[in-house]
Amino acid sequence: MNKKKREPAIRVLRKYLFVVLPHWWAIVAGFALATLDLVTAWGREISLPAWLKWTQVVLGLLVAQFRAYRDLVDASEEEASSLREEIAKLRITPYSEQHRQIADRKLGALDDSSRVLVIFLLHRGRTTIDSLRRCR
C-alpha cells in the first residue's frame, strides 16, 4: 500500500495557525469591543472577571475553528465540482464509432512499414524529417 509521508508537526501547526488565527483575532476583537461598548453604556467602570475573559477567548477559538473548517469544506466542494466537470468532459469521445471504423479500415490497408511509421509518429508526437532520417 502507498503510504503518504506525513508532514512534520511544526509545519502542520504553522498551517493551522495561519488559517485559524485571522478568524480568531476578528472574533476576539469583536467580543472585546462589544464588551467595552456594554461597559461604557452602563456609564461606570466594571472590572470583568478573569473567567469571563477566558470564556471569550475559548469561545472565540471554537468559532474560529468552525469558520476555518467551513472555508475548507467550501474550497473542497468547489474543487470536487470542477473535477466532476472535467471528468464529464473527458467521458465525451471526440469521435464517433463511424470515424473509428474508417480509421481502422485505413490502418488495415497500410503495409507493415507504413503502419510502423504511423505508430512511431503517434508515440513521438511532432516529428521533423531529420529525426525520421536518423531512424533508418
83-128 pLDDT, tens digit each: 999 998 888 877 777 888 888 888 888 888 888 888 877 787 777 7
Contact present, 24 and 61 (Cβ < 8 Å): yes
Helical (H) or strand (E) element with 126: none
Q: Where do we find the cell 468547489?
A: 78
**Judging by beta carbons within 10 Å of its beta carbon (0-12, 13-18, 19+), is residue 63 exposed, middle or buried?**
middle
- Percent of the chain clearing pLDDT 70 (strictly above): 93
Contact present, 23 and 64 (Cβ < 8 Å): yes
74 DSSP assignment: H
pTM of the prediction? Answer: 0.53
Please state, in angstroms and rounded to a whole number, the distance separating the CA atoms of residues 28 and 21: 10
Please state, in angstroms and rounded to a whole number, the distance separating the CA atoms of residues 28 and 35: 10
Give the residue, 134 or 17, on which the prediction is more confident.
17
Chain-centroid distance, C-alpha 65 = 19
127 DSSP assignment: -
Question: Please, what is the angle between helix 50-91 and helix 9-42, to 10°?
Answer: 130
pLDDT of residue 6: 82
42 DSSP assignment: H
Average pLDDT over residues 35-49: 74
Closest C-alpha among 8, 10, 51, 48 to residue 32: 48
Q: Where do we find the cell 508515440?
A: 123
Please say if the pLDDT value at position 1 is more than 60. Answer: no
